[in-house]
Amino acid sequence: MKKILFALMLVCMAIPDGYGKTKLPTYDVRPANQAPTLERPAWPDYDVQNENSFAVFSNILEVKPTASGKNMGTGGGLWTLYRCEEATYVTFDWQVPSYQDWWFFRFTTGSAIIDADTGDQYLLREIEYFPMDQCFWVHGQSGRTIRFVLVFAPLPLSVEHVQIFEASAPTRRWMDGDAMRSRVFDLDELRPKAERVEKQGRVIY
């Protein structure tokens, strides 16, 4: 019996710390995207209080409903963060209610990913294919889950805990312009559950 116990102790000592845990690769594959159809550009004299002056888009990228994203508590939808070397991509997936075919959105300059440990802010650079700082309409997407891809500055590998910050903007009917900040997330909580890739060195012949 003593020999068996001693053997079990040796086995336990040989198992490395963290055995059974999944270590995420360094970088993710950036999310796919596609250009929507611009049906009407914004008026030259765009006015946030006049919805007729907003740009109109259709054929937005449609994705399958998924539970892998996180609700930031800043207005609904599911957010997923893709840590890439050249930039940080954040997808915002929103299921368009079946009872209404016209919805407007706005993404604001000054929004950022905040390093919750240092306070450093990694600013929003663009939202692919859509205007910044202007409301815009999407239509023809009733009952579908659509995706927007936001591009932020790249995150250093030292960043482990983050918040999503949405900057303030002019308020109008059906849209609160107050700034909003999510709770603190472990960064890996926000990363996709698939399509990850480990950074690799060059192959030299």
Short-list 91, 111, 102, 6, CA closest to 55: 102
Residue 168 lies in a domain: no
Task: Label residue 181 exposed, middle or buried (CB < 10 Å: 0-12, 13-18, 19+).
Answer: middle
The confidence score (pLDDT) of residue 8 equals 32
| Phi, psi angle pair for 115, to nearest 5° | -75, 110
Tokens, residue 68? 């892998």
Q: 205 is written with which tokens?
A: 């012949």
- Asked whether residue 16 carries a pLDDT value surpassing 70, the answer given is no
- Please report whether residue 70 resides in a domain: yes
**Does residue 76 sit within a domain?**
yes
For residue 29, how many other CB atoms are within 10 A of its CB?
Answer: 14
Range from 46-55, 89-98, 169-178, 194-203 carrying the lowest mean pLDDT: 194-203
pLDDT of 65 > 80? The answer is: no
How far apart, in whole angstroms, are the C-alpha atoms of residue 80 and residue 29?
12
| 1 domain-assigned | no
Count CB-CB contacts under 10 A for residue 164.
25
- Measured on CA atoms in the order 196, 80, 130, 64, is the torsion positive or negative? positive
Distance CA 111, CA 201 (A): 34
pTM: 0.80
- Asked whether residue 172 is domain-assigned, the answer is no
Of all residues in the chain, the percent with pLDDT exceeding 90 is 60
Cα radius of gyration rounded to whole Å, the chain: 22
Residue whose C-alpha is closest to residue 103's, from 76, 72, 70: 76
What pLDDT score was predicted for residue 130? 98
Note whether residue 140 is domain-resident: yes
Range of the domain at 143: 37-108+125-157+187-197
pLDDT at 10 over 80: no
Task: Give the pLDDT of residue 25.
Answer: 82
Is position 119 within any domain? Answer: no
Contact indicator for 170, 106 with CB cutoff of 8 Å: no
Q: Please give the pLDDT value at position 191.
A: 93
For residue 69, CA distances in Å to 78, 135, 190 come to 5, 24, 7
Instruction: Report yes or no on 27 lying in a domain.
Output: no
Asked whether residue 134 carries a pLDDT value surpassing 70, the answer given is yes
Give the number of domains in the chain: 1
Q: Answer yes or no: are the C-beta atoms of 192 and 80 closer than 8 Å.
A: yes
